[in-house]
Amino acid sequence: MEKFELHTPSFRGEIVIGEGAAAERLPALVKGQKNFVLTDSRVYALYPGFFAEYFGKDSLFVLPEGEKSKTFENLGKILRAMTEAGLHRTSRLFAVGGGVIGDIGGLAAALYMRGISCVQVPTTLLAQVDSGVGGKTAVDLAGVKNVVGAFFQPCEVVVDPMFLRTLSPREIKCGLGEMVKYAALDREIFRTLKENRDRLTDLSFLSSLILPCVQHKAKVVAADERETGERKSLNVGHTTGHAVELASGLSHGECVLWGMLLETQLAGKYGVTDSAYAAELCSLVRDALRAQPVSRLNFSALGGFAEKARSDKKNEEDGNICMAVAKSEGKWTLFSLPFAQYRAGMEAIIAKIGEQFPL
């Protein structure tokens, strides 16, 4: 079991990672206050014993599973249920689920009585390596992802890989997408993934990388909680990834992989990413995209997905498309292009890739 602190200017939180973390930490965390537990329908159906054991007497709110639940309307319903449950300022919300539950649950905790204690219990690989840590909370609104949200640090993140055994291969691949993002930012993770390309769907191998990914994120968030500088690095692949996600409906992690592939090639073309490194990174991203199950993505049917990048939160008011891209091993930079150049660059790259996966 690994335990360490995430210390930001506003907060000091704990992160506990390892098999058995839930059994070790939850009995103490549920004691001493009123609790409110948020989860989704799939997690609740898969783990009835877990909820009965740790949260038997607590108020429980179960959202339908999936991104479609990450709405302002559902946020209102959760806050109403918290009020009806009679929660106080000293109460605690437990968000038990994937990134959707962590994001909307964290936001509800941030808003209720201007902020109550929150514990994140991430249950997907994506949430364990990424979204459960760092205090970004949000809901989607008017077709724009994560447009309403807050920075709000959980008092503890309990990362227990025992939850991962019930994930579908597609959800594992989704987590792999964010792990490859860390490879673009961290030499050690890059080398480990490169040397184990034949194990990209092997859950025990991927689980061994949760700790280094979370340590990398915790270091970045501690240095720049509000994303004014270094934290922007964690958006590698995400500007284009979100555009592909909005246009295709594929999972977040897979779209991050597509975003990394396309943005790295674009940045290579403009001399922003070192060309030998761009080739190496793209080769790893391609291997991850080829990991099972493979999604077929027909770019010509996406109907100008580049347009979707215009609504990205990371863009500035000058109308340019702003991307965080890998520069060389372990180094990153911001890269902006006027929209017309961005779109033309993407179209040229996609024409070369060919219309359909596999690459």
Question: Applying CB under 6 A, which residues contact ligand NAD?
Answer: 40, 42-43, 46, 65-67, 70, 97-101, 103, 123-124, 126-127, 130-131, 134, 136, 145-146, 163, 166-167, 171, 174, 252
Q: Residue number with the shortest CB distance to ligand NAD?
A: 99
Closer to ligand NAD by CB, 138 or 346: give it: 138
Could you tell me the smallest distance in angstroms from the CB atom of residue 169 to ligand NAD?
11
Could you tell me the smallest distance in angstroms from the CB atom of residue 309 to ligand NAD?
16
Residue 312, phi then psi, degrees to nearest 5: -70, 140
3-state class of 4 per DSSP?
Answer: strand
Could you give the CA distance from residue 342 to residue 302 in angstroms, rounded to a whole number? 16
Could you give the CA distance from residue 194 to residue 189 in angstroms, rounded to a whole number? 8
**Neighbouring residues of 255: CB distance < 8 A, sequence distance ≥ 6:** 177, 241, 242, 244, 245, 248
Residue 38, phi then psi, degrees to nearest 5: -115, 135
Could you tell me the smallest distance in angstroms from the CB atom of residue 167 to ligand NAD?
5
3-state class of 80 per DSSP?
Answer: helix
On the CB side of 62, how many CA atoms lie within 13 Å of its CA? 9
Closer to ligand NAD by CB, 182 or 342: give it: 182
C-alpha distance from residue 45 to each of 3, 50, 64, 158, 262 (Å) = 29, 10, 11, 20, 38
Are 148 and 141 in contact by the 8 Å Cβ rule? The answer is yes
Catalytic residues: 114, 136, 178, 217, 227, 231, 235, 238, 242, 252
On the CB side of 42, how many CA atoms lie within 13 Å of its CA? 15
Closer to ligand NAD by CB, 174 or 302: give it: 174
Could you give the CA distance from residue 239 to residue 255 in angstroms, rounded to a whole number? 10
Closer to ligand NAD by CB, 71 or 336: give it: 71
Mode of pairing for the β-strands spanning 11-17 and 2-8: antiparallel
Could you tell me the smallest distance in angstroms from the CB atom of residue 131 to ligand NAD?
3
Could you tell me the smallest distance in angstroms from the CB atom of residue 106 to ligand NAD?
7
Closer to ligand NAD by CB, 256 or 278: give it: 256
H or E segment and range at residue 87: none
**Neighbouring residues of 356: CB distance < 8 A, sequence distance ≥ 6:** 296, 297, 298
Could you give the CA distance from residue 75 to residue 82 in angstroms, rounded to a whole number? 11
Closer to ligand NAD by CB, 176 or 272: give it: 176
